[in-house]
Amino acid sequence: MRMHNPPHPGEILRELCLEPLGLSVTEAARALGVARKTLSAILNGRSGISPEMAIRLGKAFSTSPESWLNQQVQYDLWQAEQRSPNLQVKNLVAA
């Protein structure tokens, strides 16, 4: 079952990982081995979690990469469903 309006994974990353450790964006980006701009875009919901970033986050925070990718998929799917009434698709099911 899909969550209703799931948060962007960047929000979870900020609230459950960075803030409890008192990490700044710069410190976290350095620890993850990514540019500050890259991490900032994720934290602000402008970019999603890629498979590589999921691996980095998993290693850094002792979590599974799958959990990060799952959060991203749930967020993306919910967003797409909000736009789905505007999609024009023909039913291709055999009679």
- Quick: pLDDT tens for 35-59: 999 999 999 999 999 999 999 999 9
Contact call for residues 44 and 10 (beta carbons, < 8 A): yes
Specify the pTM: 0.88
Query: Positive or negative, the Cα torsion across 65, 74, 33, 28?
Result: negative
Both tokens of residue 63?
A: 């979590």
Q: Which domains does the chain have, with CATH numbers?
A: 9-75 (1.10.260.40)
On the question of pLDDT at 1 being above 60, the answer is no
